[in-house]
């Protein structure tokens, strides 16, 4: 049986990783969009920025979504486990 303090610490680390990945994904996506807008404003060809964004943005969003899905599943599993222990 784990202690409530350990459980709270692990939960906070899990939440921190989810928040961190979303900050990373949104920052990278914003930076890539900025590069595309900058290349258009400088009358440059945005091929490299567009090529990178076509691959990178969906990959980052998918990774962040999977991490969030796992985090939510772990929290639901922990809640269900606590409910069955309390009713026993």
Is there a domain that residue 19 lies in?
no
70 within domain boundaries: yes
Residue 29 included in any domain: yes
Domain that holds residue 63: 24-87
Top-confidence residue, 67 or 39: 67
pLDDT exceeds cutoff 70 at 81: no
Do the Cβ atoms of 71 and 18 come closer than 8 Å? yes
- For the segment 37-50, what is each residue's pLDDT rounded down to a tens digit? 888 898 887 787 78
User: Mind spelling out the 3-state secondary structure of 1-51?
Assistant: CCCHHHHHHHHHHHHHHHHHHHHHHHHHHHHHHHHHHHHHHCCCCCHHHHH
pLDDT at 67: 92
Domain count, the chain: 1
pLDDT at 1: 47
Give domain status of residue 15, yes or no.
Answer: no
């Amino acid at each position: 049986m784990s202690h409530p303090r350990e459980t709270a610490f692990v939960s906070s680390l899990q939440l921190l990783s989810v928040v961190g990945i979303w900050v990373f994904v949104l920052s990278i996506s914003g930076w890539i969009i900025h590069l595309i807008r900058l290349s258009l404003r400088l009358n440059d060809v945005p091929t490299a920025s567009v090529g990178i964004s076509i691959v990178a943005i969906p990959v980052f969003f998918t990774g962040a979504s999977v991490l969030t899905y796992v985090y939510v599943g772990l929290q639901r599993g922990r809640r269900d486990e606590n409910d069955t222990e309390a009713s026993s």
